[in-house]
Amino acid sequence: MSKVDQNATTNNARASDLAKACAKVMQVSDAYSHALGIRLAQIEQGLAVMIMAVDNGKLNGYGTCHGGVIFSLADTAFAYACNSQNQTAVAASCTIDFVRPAKSGDVLTATATMQYQGRRTGVYQTLIVNQDEKLIAIFKGNAARLGTPILDPSLEESL
């Protein structure tokens, strides 16, 4: 392995560890996501995958998953992705397009990926699919960085 490849591997491992540490801090106080049964499946820098089962308590009056629940799943994945670089970020704006309904018994996966990240603003897309890989919704979130780290600076140096 060349020195360049070794450095890239080391940098990727450090970025992955940093993303995991940021997610761990976020999970501690993420009561709403816990209440919805949203679980973190994967986290990397600029990427988060969240999973949630649709039960009867998440259905609307038409017997399909409430749009607010799907939005919350997508927003959670977006939040973890845009905070994965140890820069506190919040949503500046979000939109969602519902493609098809989710039903009781479905297992939804939301994959948020960074499309652009500048010094202060970022754009992220979250795709929500069911267990059959059928697209349920497309979410776009614009993030604003607040200029503060998530982790204590001394902790980040130890990663």
> What is the number of structural domains in the chain?
1
Q: Does 7 score more than 60 pLDDT? A: no
pTM over 0.85: yes
Mean pLDDT of 8-22: 79
> Residue 73's domain is classified under what CATH number?
3.10.129.10
Neighbours of 31 (CB within 10 A): 8
Distance of CA 140 to the CA centre of its chain: 12
26-62 per-position pLDDT tens digit = 999 999 999 999 999 999 999 999 999 999 999 999 9
- Looking at residue 152, its pLDDT comes to 81
Distance of CA 92 to the CA centre of its chain: 15
Can you give the residue range of the structural domain that contains 147? 3-157
Q: Return the bridge partners of 123, or none.
A: 116, 142
CA–CA distance, 87 with 127 (Å, rounded to integer) = 23
What Å distances lie between residue 84 and 17, 46, 55, 78, 159, CA to CA?
10, 6, 29, 10, 14
Say if residues 92 and 143 touch (Cβ distance below 8 Å). yes
